[in-house]
């Protein structure tokens, strides 16, 4: 399973722009609410499933990753 890269590109007018790179990505979800933005990237390959979650709020940025055997 290849690595997922999350690169903050720029912030402008209270909007955060993030570039997500990986060789293969199964799903990407982006949700926005009053608290901020929530991005989840999932990928499966070679008996593994990975999920990368990024939460951007006024309090800061939280990045969490999970790898599971399938």
**Residue span of the structural domain in which 24 resides:** 5-69
Look at residue 47 and give its three-state secondary structure: coil
Specify the higher pLDDT residue, 29 or 11: 29
Domain count, the chain: 1
Closest by alpha carbon to 64, among 44, 40, 46? 40
Cα dist. 2→13, 27, 44, 55, 66 in Å?
33, 15, 10, 22, 13
Cα separation, 10 vs 45, whole angstroms: 31
So what's the pLDDT on residue 1?
42
The answer to whether the predicted template modeling score (pTM) of the entire model surpasses 0.75 is no
So what's the pLDDT on residue 4?
52
So what's the pLDDT on residue 52?
83
């Amino acid at each position: 399973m290849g690595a997922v890269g999350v690169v903050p590109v720029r912030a402008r007018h209270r909007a955060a722009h993030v570039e997500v790179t990986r060789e293969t990505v199964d799903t990407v979800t982006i949700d926005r609410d009053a608290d901020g933005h929530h991005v989840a990237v999932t990928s499966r390959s070679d008996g593994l499933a990975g999920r990368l979650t990024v939460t951007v709020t006024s309090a800061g940025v939280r990045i969490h990753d999970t790898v599971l055997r399938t």
